[in-house]
Structure 1
Amino acid sequence: MTDPHAGEAEELSAALDDVDLDSPSTTKFAEFEYVLAALVHLPRNQVYAVAVNRAAELAALVKSVPANHALVLAVVVKDADQVKATQEAVRRYLSSGGVPAAVVFERDPAGGWRSSWLAMEAEQAGSDLAAQVSSLATQLSLQVEHVEARERVRKWPGRSLRAAEHPLVIDDRTRRMLRGAVASRSAVMLVGPPGTGKTQLVGEVIDEVAGAPANYGMTMAHDYLVVTPDESWSARELVGGETVDDTSKLRFSPGYVLEAIAEDRWLVLDEANRADLDRIFSGLFTWLTGNTVTVGRVSGDPKASPIFLGWADGPKSEVIGAELLRSDTPDDGQGAVHYLAGKEWRLFGTYNAVDAQRVFRFGLALGRRFAHVPIEMPTVEGFTQALGNRLSNLPTPLEDSVQAELVSVLQRIYQAHAGLSGMEMGPAALLSIPEYLDAKDLPLSSAELRQRIAESYLMGMGTWLATLDDNALEQLGREFQRPEVLGDQWDWLVGKLGGLR
C-alpha cells in the first residue's frame, strides 16, 4: 500500500539535501525549518535545527536554541553510528526542560534523509502542542515517545505581545477594518490615543492568523519581531548600513526590516512616531509599492556586490546570497544579496495620535504606504465590559459592595478622560487598578477605597497627568473632586505631580 504521507517525508529529505551541514552559516537550515514548521503548524522560529557529528556535541549546540521561542528541536545526525547516542542525549535534554519536543533525522541508506525518532515532554499531554506533534508523527510514520521530566532548576518563559486572558473590547467594525487591512496590505498602522490597546490588538491579530490563517487569506502562522523606534534612529537601524566588522573592514549590517525578513517574522514598530520615519524610510517608500530597491552593498568597496530588497513570489520570506554578507566570504562584485519579503509578510506600526504633538508626524507619502486603522476610545459600555472581565479574573474576588463602588468610580474617571479633546487617554491604566487592590486587605470604608484608587492612578497615570496644562487639569478636577469620584484625593494627586514633571 502506498504511504499517503510519503510526500511530507520526501519534502523534508529534499530540504536537508540542500543544506551544507558543514557551513558556519546561522541560517543554513532556514528552508528545512520552514518545511518542518509547516508540517507541525508552528511559526518557523519555533522550530530550531542543529547538526551533530557526535552526540557529545549536542550540549554545546543547544545553548543557541532561542530560549523564548523554540518548541521543537530538530537534530540532524551526520554519523550513523551516533544515532542511538544522540537520541539519548536529546532525551536527557527534553527531560531537563530544554524544549517541549524534538525529532531526530539520520541518513537513509536508500539515499537522502529520514526521521527516526520523535519525542515530547510527558507533561505536554493534552496540550495544543501535543496534538500538533501527534499529527507530525502520523505524517512521518513515527511513534511519539513521552519523556518524563527530571527536577528542573528553571524553565525559560516565553515573550508575548498578547494578553489573551483579557481580550480587548472594540467594536465589530474596527475589527473588520483591521482584518481587511492585514489581509490586503503589506503595511498596517494602528492609530489612536495612548492606552487604547493598539499593541495588544496586533498580538490578538497574530493569534488569530495562527489559529485560522485562511480567514486572512494566508497559509501559515507567523511570528513577529517587536521594536520601539526612537528619535536617534537612522536608516541604519531600520533598513541597514555599513559597520566595522571584526577585521576592521566596512561591511553591511542588516537593520530590523531585513532581519525580520531573514527570519520570516512580521515586524512591529511599536510607537512608530517616536522616530522620524519620513527621514529614515528612504528606499522603503518605493519598496512598499511592490518594487525592488537597492539598500546597500556588502562592503565599503563601491564595486562590491549589491543588496536588494524585493518581494518573493510565494508566502514565505527568504534571503538569497546571504553568505556574501559574511566577512570571510570572497566578493568579486559579480554576485548579489536578495532580501525577499513573502506575500504574507507584514509590517505593523502603532501611532500615538496624542504624542504626535510632541514627537514626529507621518508625511503624506509615507502615510499612503500604510493602511491606517483608527483605534478609538471604547464607549463607556465597552470600558465597563472590559473592566468586568478584569474583575472576574482576580485571584480573590472583591466583595460585591466594594466592586460596585469601584466600577462606579472608574466609570466616572474614564468619562472624564474621554472628555479631554485632543488629550484623550485610553483605559489601559484604569483597567489595571483592580489588581492593585489587595483582596486580603480590603478597604474598610469608601474613603480608604478612594485612597487605593488614587494611589494606583498616580502610579499608572501620573506622568501623563503631569503633562496636562492648567485648563485640562481644571476640567478633570471638576469631575474628580466630586465626593462620588475621588473627593479630597484629587488634591492629594495634584500635590504629587511636581515630582513627576
Structure 2
Amino acid sequence: MTSGEREQSGDSTAPDPAVYQVPITTDDEGPIRINFDRTVVTSVQRDRLEDICEIPLDHETVRVWGNTASKAADTGDYLLFADRDGHYGGEYTLLARIEHATILDEETAAAFTEAIGWGEVSDDSYQHVMFLDPVYETTLDREEFWETVGYNGWPNNTFARIKFDRTGSTFFSEYDSIPTFIEEIRGEKLYPTESADEDEETPGPDSRPTNVDHPVISHIRSASPTVYAFTAPPEYWLTTVEYGSVSFAEEHRDRWAELSEGDVAVLHARAEPSDEELSPRPGGIVGVGILGRRFEKDEPWWRDEHEYGESFPLVAAFDRLFLAGSIDRIDTSRSVAEKSTATIDRETDALTTDRLPTDRANDICAEATGTEFPVQSMHATFRADDGTDERDRPIALVSAMAEALTEVSTIHVHESYRGAISGETLEGLYFPDDQGERILEGIATALRSGKHILLTGPPGTGKTEIARRVSSALADDYPYLYSGYEVTTATADWSTFDTVGGYMPTESSETDGDDLAFTPGIVLNRLKDTRTETQSNELIVIDELNRADIDKAFGQLFTLLSGQSVQLPYTRNGREIELTTTDDLSGPPADHQYLVPDSWRIFATMNTYDKTSLYEMSYAFMRRFAFIRVPAPELPADDGQLEDLVYEYASAWELDPDRNVAMTVGRVWRETNNAVEERSIGPAIVEDVLRYVDQHPESALEYHLTQAVISYIFPQLEGVPKRRQIVRDIAAVREIDDSLLEQAAREMLQVTLAENE
C-alpha cells in the first residue's frame, strides 16, 4: 500500500455481498455520465495511474469508479449501473464486481482524479476509488425488480445500497440468495477480455491486414465523419435489416439531432435480448453503416414498440449498410410483430452468425489506440482521451470484419407508401385558392392506391416542376422507401431499348468490344444501383410522355405495370433477365433479376395541346395511371381583377413590374387563353414573358412584348388547330406590334392575320 492510502478492504467471504445502485442520468453533458463512459464503459491504461496508487489488477487496462463516500466498499460487492430517465424511467445497463476499494487521502485523490480524466469535467475529487473486475452487461428488468423489492423510483444519490429485505420486498421468495440473484442477472462479460497469453492466442496487429479496401474505410479517411457505436439487443437489428434505419426515443432527441449525413455507425448486438422469451447469444459487432437522412415516424417498427408500447419516433436512415451474417435468411416481407419467438431467434442467429465477438472487438480497439470498444446500452461516440473524434478504432474494426461484411439494400421493398405530402412541397409556386393543396392530395391518394401518376394540363402550368418536387419530397421524407428520383423527357424515338434495356458491346482486352452484354435502360436502372449492385428504388419522372410511341417504348413494361412479373428476351450469365414483383421473389434479387418494390411509381406529364408527332396512349396503358389535372387559372374579364392576379403571380416569382407592364401582359395572357375553347397556357410561360419584358424600358414595350410573345407563346401553338384565331386575338392587344407578330406567325405557324384565308 502506498503512503497515499489510508484504508483498503480485505477479501470478503460473506455469502451475501452488498449491491449498490448507480443510476446515471442520460444527459450526455453531465460529468457523471462522461466519467462513466470514460472509465467504466471503456478502459483506462494502467500506466496512467501506477505512479499514484497501487493497482490491484494484472490487466494492462483497468475499469474504475469513484465517489465521495467516506467508507470503502468491500471486495466482492457489486455496482449495478443504470441509465436513469427522470425519477421513474430508465434501465439497468452494467453489473460490475468490486475487486478492490480504497479511500485516498486528499492529495492522492486530487492526483488520481486528474490522471484518470475525471477532473476534466468536474472540480470535485473522488477519494473513494473502486477497481472493477469483471464488468458484465446486465439482464435485469427494472420494472420487475422494482416491483419485487418494493421500489417506486430511483434513489436520490448515485451510490445507494439495495435493501433486499425491506418491508414489502418479496426478493427472498423469488431468489435463494443475493449471489443467486447476481448470477441470474449477469449478461455478457465485457471486461476483462481474453488476453494474448491465455489459452487461445489473440492475433496481434501485425497479423491483421492494414491495407483493407472497404467503402466505409475509404469514406472515414476521406470525409472524417463522427463515428458512433450503437448497442442494442440482438433482435433489434432485425428491424434495421427491414427498414435500413436506427431509432431513438424522444428523450434522446438531442443525440438524434446531432447526427449528420455521412456519419458512420458501428452496430453492436449485446448478448441478452430485451424479452426473456427470446434466447440469449454471444454479443458482438454485426455491421457498420454510413448514415443518411433523419426523419420522424408515427408507426411502430421495432418489437418493443409493438409488444410493450414503447416509442422510437426519431429515425436515422442509412445511405449504405454493411452486415455480417446470412442476411438472405431474414424475411423482410413480414414485420417483427408478425413473427413468432422461434422465428425471431432463428433470424437473429442468421444475423449474428458472423459477428465480431465483443472481446475480440475490445482487443482490436485496445491494440489500435489503447482504449477498448465503447460498449454501452445506448449510443456512444468513438472519442480520444482529449474528447476529440477518433477514427482509428472504427477503421481497425472494419478492417477485421471486411471479408464478412456484405452490402445490403436500405430500401424496404415490401412496404407500400401510406403517407401524406406536405404543402411545403410546392413552396415558391403560386396556385390560386387551394388548388396546390388539392393537387397534392390527389397525388397522395393515387400513390396510396397503388397508381402511377400522370399530370395533365396546358403547357406552363407547372406539371414537371410538381412531379419533380413531389418525387424529391418523397425521397427526402421516406428514405426507407425511395433512394432518389430521375427526370427524363420522352421522345418519338424511344423504344424498349431506352426504357428496358438491351444488348450493347462490352470492351475487354481479349475482345476489343466484340462481346455483347445486357445493359439496363432508364426504368431498370431505377431498380438496381449500378455502382453497388444493391436494390434501389428511384422514382422516375417522364416529361411529355405522349411524345413517345407507348407500345414501342414500353413493351414488356405493360405486364409489369399491371403487377405481374415478366421475363425479357435477354440473358445475363446464361439466365434470362427477369422483372419481378415482391409477390414472386423471396430474398434479395439475383444478378439477373430486377425487383420492383411495392412503392415504386412512375410520374409522367402530358400537355393537353395537340402538338405534332404525338402518339395516342392506349386505354390499357392509361388505366395504370391516375390522371391529375393541373389547370391554368381562370382569368377574370375585369381588368382590375386581372391586374391583381398578375401581381399575385409576380410576387411569387419575386418580380415587381410596372402597372402598365403587368396589365399588358395580363391582357395577352387572357386573349391567348380565351381565343379558343380548351386551348390555354399556364403561368410558367407568362412568367417567361413578364421577365423578358420587365428587363427592358417601358418606352419600348410594344416591341419587347411582341418579341416575348413570339419567343415563348408561339412555340406552344405549333400544330394547334385554330391557332390563327389565337394569334389574331393576341394581335388585338393594343400594345402588340401586329406587323411584327404577323411576320413571325407566317414563318413559325404558317398562318396570317387575314380573315379571308
What TM-score bracket applies, with the shorter chain setting the length?
A: 0.5 to 0.7
CA distance in 1, matches of 2:444, 2:469: 11
Question: Structure 1 residues 407 and 87 mapped into 2: Cα distance closer, same or farther (>3 Å)?
Answer: same
Q: Does 1:90 align with 2:360?
A: no
1:264–1:318: 8 Å Cα contact kept in structure 2? no
CA distance in 2, matches of 1:396, 1:421: 30
Structure 2, unaligned runs of 5 or more: 1-81, 84-89, 94-208, 226-259, 270-282, 298-313, 318-376, 390-424, 529-535, 750-757
1:193–1:354: 8 Å Cα contact kept in structure 2? yes
1:391 maps to 650
Q: Does 1:195 align with 2:460?
A: yes
Alignment of 1:282-321 (within 5 A): 282-299=555-572, 304-312=574-582, 320-321=589-590
1:253 maps to 519
2:240 maps to none
CA distance in 1, matches of 2:588, 2:672: 48
Which residue identity lines up with residue 90 of structure 1 in the other structure?
A
Alignment of 1:93-492 (within 5 A): 101-104=261-264, 111-112=284-285, 136=316, 140-142=379-381, 164-169=427-432, 170=435, 173-209=438-474, 220=481, 223-246=484-507, 247=511, 248-262=514-528, 263-299=536-572, 304-312=574-582, 320-322=589-591, 337-355=592-610, 358-380=613-635, 387-392=646-651, 397-398=656-657, 402=658, 404-419=659-674, 420-421=676-677, 423-438=679-694, 443-445=697-699, 448-465=700-717, 467=719, 472-483=723-734, 486-487=735-736, 489-492=737-740
Question: Structure 1 residues 139 and 480 mapped into 2: Cα distance closer, same or farther (>3 Å)?
Answer: farther
Where 1:287 maps in the other structure, the secondary structure is helix
Where 2:703 maps in the other structure, the secondary structure is helix
TM-score by length of 1: 0.60
2:216 maps to 76
2:672–2:729: 8 Å Cα contact kept in structure 1? no
Deviation at 1:388, TM superposition (A): 3.3
2:74 maps to none
Deviation at 1:197, TM superposition (A): 1.6
Deviation at 1:189, TM superposition (A): 1.4
Percent of aligned pairs sharing the same letter:
22
Where 2:493 maps in the other structure, the secondary structure is coil
1:115–1:140: 8 Å Cα contact kept in structure 2? no
CA distance in 2, matches of 1:493, 1:377: 24
1:77–1:107: 8 Å Cα contact kept in structure 2? no
Which residue identity lines up with residue 429 of structure 1 in the other structure?
I
CA distance in 1, matches of 2:623, 2:473: 26
Q: How many residues align?
A: 368
2:192 maps to none
Deviation at 1:114, TM superposition (A): 6.5
2:582–2:596: 8 Å Cα contact kept in structure 1? yes
CA distance in 1, matches of 2:476, 2:607: 29
Deviation track 1:431-479 (CA, whole Å, cap 9, x = no partner) reads 223322456xx6344xx3343322322222232346556x532444245
2:741 to 488, 493, 496: 493
1:15 maps to none
Which residue identity lines up with residue 392 of structure 1 in the other structure?
S
CA distance in 2, matches of 1:203, 1:260: 15
Deviation at 1:254, TM superposition (A): 1.0
Deviation track 1:370-429 (CA, whole Å, cap 9, x = no partner) reads 22223322222699787435422566734xxx2x32332233222222222354333321
Deviation track 1:316-370 (CA, whole Å, cap 9, x = no partner) reads x996112xxxxxxxxxxxxxx2211111110121122323664111012212222
1:191–1:351: 8 Å Cα contact kept in structure 2? yes
Structure 1, unaligned runs of 5 or more: 7-52, 59-74, 79-85, 93-99, 121-127, 148-161, 323-336
Alignment of 1:14-93 (within 5 A): 76-77=216-217, 87=220, 89-91=222-224
1:319–1:339: 8 Å Cα contact kept in structure 2? no
Question: Structure 1 residues 348 and 455 mapped into 2: Cα distance closer, same or farther (>3 Å)?
Answer: same
Which residue identity lines up with residue 216 of structure 2 in the other structure?
V
Where 1:320 maps in the other structure, the secondary structure is coil
CA distance in 1, matches of 2:649, 2:682: 16
CA distance in 1, matches of 2:590, 2:481: 25
Which protein is richer in strand relative to its size?
A: 2
Deviation at 1:208, TM superposition (A): 4.8
Which residue identity lines up with residue 434 of structure 1 in the other structure?
L
Question: Structure 1 residues 171 and 268 mapped into 2: Cα distance closer, same or farther (>3 Å)?
Answer: closer
Q: Return the index of the structure with the highest Cα Rg.
A: 2
CA distance in 2, matches of 1:497, 1:318: 61
Q: Which moved more, 1:138-147 or 1:456-465?
A: 138-147
1:116–1:142: 8 Å Cα contact kept in structure 2? no
Which residue identity lines up with residue 257 of structure 1 in the other structure?
V
Question: Structure 1 residues 56 and 438 mapped into 2: Cα distance closer, same or farther (>3 Å)?
Answer: farther
Question: Structure 1 residues 87 and 362 mapped into 2: Cα distance closer, same or farther (>3 Å)?
Answer: closer
Which residue identity lines up with residue 490 of structure 2 in the other structure?
P
2:399 maps to none
Which residue identity lines up with residue 112 of structure 1 in the other structure?
I
Question: Structure 1 residues 222 and 235 mapped into 2: Cα distance closer, same or farther (>3 Å)?
Answer: same
Deviation at 1:171, TM superposition (A): 6.1
CA distance in 1, matches of 2:388, 2:690: 41
Deviation track 1:20-46 (CA, whole Å, cap 9, x = no partner) reads xxxxxxxxxxxxxxxxxxxxxxxxxxx
Compare relative contact order (CA 8 Å, sep 6+) and give the higher one, 1 or 2: 1
1:152 maps to none
2:170 maps to none
TM-score by length of 2: 0.42
1:430–1:457: 8 Å Cα contact kept in structure 2? no
Deviation track 1:50-70 (CA, whole Å, cap 9, x = no partner) reads xxx879989xxxxxxxxxxxx
1:95 maps to none
Where 1:200 maps in the other structure, the secondary structure is helix
Where 2:620 maps in the other structure, the secondary structure is helix
Which residue identity lines up with residue 460 of structure 2 in the other structure?
G
Where 1:348 maps in the other structure, the secondary structure is strand
Which residue identity lines up with residue 687 of structure 2 in the other structure?
L
1:318–1:342: 8 Å Cα contact kept in structure 2? no
